[in-house]
Amino acid sequence: MGKHLKKMGYESSDIENIKGMFEMYHKESKNIFENYDNANPEHVKNAEWICNTEKLELLLKSQKSNLAFYSGIASNMNDILPFFDKKFVLLLNSQTLNERLKNREGTSDIGNTQESRDVVLGWKDWWEGEMKKRNAIFVNANRPLDEISKEILREVNCI
């Protein structure tokens, strides 16, 4: 969705793709997770994807326009959500989420095996509940990108 909004002329960044913005940590030791493998479901279950809030704050301060879109997900969402005025969750049914994870670009992305996708799918309902508690705006993402983007833009009063 971020790429689509950027093509439409809006400032948009996938914060997970910004070098140094995130680091994978082991849940128990809280140390950097050495040799982490997204294909290993045990690694996926025992890892935390942590956003560096200081770097995020610097990124937000460098924002060029009044309206910008930032996409990404982190284990420390409670630390990063306060930085944003509106939070959107692109809501997918489990079948569509499984297919999109399966067909993502890059083989190192989470969900590149069915076992690791099953771990992600197991978190889906819990995560959506957590985001609901944080007043996220849920957008049906089981439809074309143009329809999804129009709904998001309506929510931010752009159309």
Instruction: Note the pLDDT of residue 87.
Output: 96
What structural domains does the chain harbor?
2-155 (3.40.50)
Instruction: Note the pLDDT of residue 47.
Output: 93
Instruction: Note the pLDDT of residue 41.
Output: 84
pTM score:
0.87
Q: H or E element: which one contains 12?
A: strand 11-14
DSSP state of 136: P
d(CA 49, CA 24): 5
Instruction: Note the pLDDT of residue 159.
Output: 65
Instruction: Note the pLDDT of residue 75.
Output: 94
Q: Tally Cβ neighbours within 10 Å of residue 159.
A: 10
Strands annotated E in 19-149:
22-26, 47-51, 68-71, 88-91, 137-140
What string of pLDDT tens digits covers the 159 residues of the chain?
999 999 999 999 999 999 999 999 999 999 999 999 888 888 888 999 999 999 999 999 999 999 999 999 999 999 999 999 999 999 999 999 999 888 876 556 677 788 888 988 999 999 999 999 999 999 999 999 999 999 999 999 886
Amino acid at 98: N
d(CA 29, CA 25): 8
Spatial CA neighbour of 72 closest among 94, 85, 89, 54: 89
Instruction: Note the pLDDT of residue 70.
Output: 97
DSSP lists the bridge partners of residue 67 as none
